[in-house]
Amino acid sequence: MRIIPAIDIIDGKCVRLSKGDYSTKKIYNENPVEVALEFEASGIEYVHVVDLDGAKASHIVNYKVLEQIATKTKLSIDFGGGLKTDDDLRIAFESGAKQITGGSIAVKNPSIFKKWITNYGTDKIILGADAHNEKIAISGWQEESNEELIPFIQDYMKEGIQYVICTDIAKDGMLEGPSFDLYKRILAQCSDIHLIASGGISTFEELPKLAELGCEGTIIGKAIYENRISLKQLEQFILTTNN
Using DSSP's 3-state secondary structure scheme, residue 161 falls into coil
Q: What is the pLDDT of residues 189-220, one digit of tens each?
A: 999 999 999 999 999 999 999 999 999 999 99
What pLDDT is recorded for position 140? 55
**DSSP-assigned states of every residue in 82-144:** S--SHHHHHHHHHTT-SEEEESHHHHH-HHHHHHHHHHH-TTTEEEEEEEETTEEEETTTTEE
Catalytic residues: 8, 130
Q: Which of 84-88, 110-114, 170-174, 238-242 bottoms out in mean pLDDT, i.e. has the lowest?
A: 170-174
What pLDDT is recorded for position 141? 59
Q: What is the pLDDT of residues 77-126, one digit of tens each?
A: 999 999 999 999 999 999 999 999 999 899 999 999 999 999 999 999 99
- Looking at the chain, the whole-number percentage of residues with pLDDT higher than 70 is 98
pTM: 0.95
148, containing H or E segment: strand 143-148
